Amino acid sequence: MRAATDPPAAARAGAAFDLTCSACPRLAGLLGKVRAEHPGYHARPVAPFGDPHAALLVVGLAPGMHGANRTGRPFTGDYAGILLYRTLHKFGFASHAGSADPDDGLVLTGARLTNAVKCLPPQNKPDTAEIRRCNGYLANELAQRPPRAVLALGRIAHDATLAALALRPRDYAFGHHAVHALPNGIRMFDSYHCSRYNTNTRRLTEAMFEAVFRDIVDFLSR
């Protein structure tokens, strides 16, 4: 996980999350600047959060500057977390709907949250090499704690999940509300990312997001 010439994700599935990872020079450099400017920020790789035996793994893009990068918990303090945690609570995965502070006592049951890229990227846009380099961590999460369902928030999360499972994205097209039965038995559900831009432009509405969760709950109840 340390070199730019790392092998494909399938060969790195033993790479456990590393809080000290600095494999991506651009991201490590940005985090160093953020720590200098905001000493109280987490500004390091953000670990997965939630039930270690979760049936549902939610995969996002990357930590936001003043959200997970600040708080150290996925989607906590992020605008995207408002809709995500509210929906998780509505469907019984979260103990309450809040997501502003990692000390809020929030508990996830049956769900775990992670990101395709564990570190804050500039303009929230990781490059291809960074996504690939970080993919071993996601591969490890899927191998060590296999969920029954994955919710991919956006195309990057969708493609990263498939890469982590050594599957080809071209065989499983991304689309909002698309559902894919993967050969390892995992069911993957796609949604547009619950970002401020997507919700403000109504590309993703609350009703649309809840419809995806209804399908997930229906699948997990079988």
User: pTM here?
Assistant: 0.93
Correct CATH for 9-220 of 2.40.110.10, 3.40.50.300, 3.40.470.10, 3.40.50.720: 3.40.470.10
- Quick one: average pLDDT of 170-187? 97
- Give mean pLDDT, residues 183-187: 95
All structural domains of the chain with their residue ranges: 9-220
Helix, strand or coil for residue 189?
strand
pLDDT score recorded for residue 15: 82
Average pLDDT over residues 68-78: 97
pLDDT score for 99: 80
Q: What is the pLDDT of residue 142?
A: 96
What is the Cα–Cα distance from 153 to 144, expressed in whole angstroms? 21
Dihedral, CA of residue 102, residue 108, residue 111 and residue 116, to nearest 10: 0
Tell which wins on pLDDT, 60 or 3. Answer: 60
d(CA 58, CA 50) in angstroms, rounded, equals: 10
| Exposure class string for 66-88: b at 16+ Cβ within 10 A, else e | ebbbbbbbbbbbbbbbbbbbbbb
Cβ neighbours around 48 below 10 Å, total: 21
Q: How far is CA 96 from the centre of its chain?
A: 20
Mean pLDDT (the chain, rounded): 93
What pLDDT was estimated at residue 14? Answer: 52
Using CB atoms within 10 Å of the CB of residue 98, give its burial: 0 to 12 exposed, 13 to 18 middle, 19+ buried: middle
Place 7 in a pLDDT band, splitting at 50, 70 and 90.
very low
**Strand pairing of 49-50 and 111-115?**
antiparallel
pLDDT at 98: 78
Q: Per-residue confidence at 204, pLDDT binned at 50, 70, 90?
A: very high
The residues that bridge with 106 in the sheet, in sequence order, are none
pLDDT given at position 6: 45
Nearest 5°: the CA angle 201, 207, 209 is 80
Model confidence at 27, pLDDT cuts 50, 70, 90, reads very high
Question: Per-residue pLDDT for 143 more than 90?
Answer: yes
Q: Is the pLDDT of residue 37 over 90?
A: yes
Report residue 17 as tokens. 């999350």
95 vs 89: CA distance, rounded Å: 6
Q: In angstroms, how far is CA 32 from the centroid of its own chain? A: 22
Return the pLDDT at 195: 97
Task: Tell me what pLDDT residue 1 has.
Answer: 36
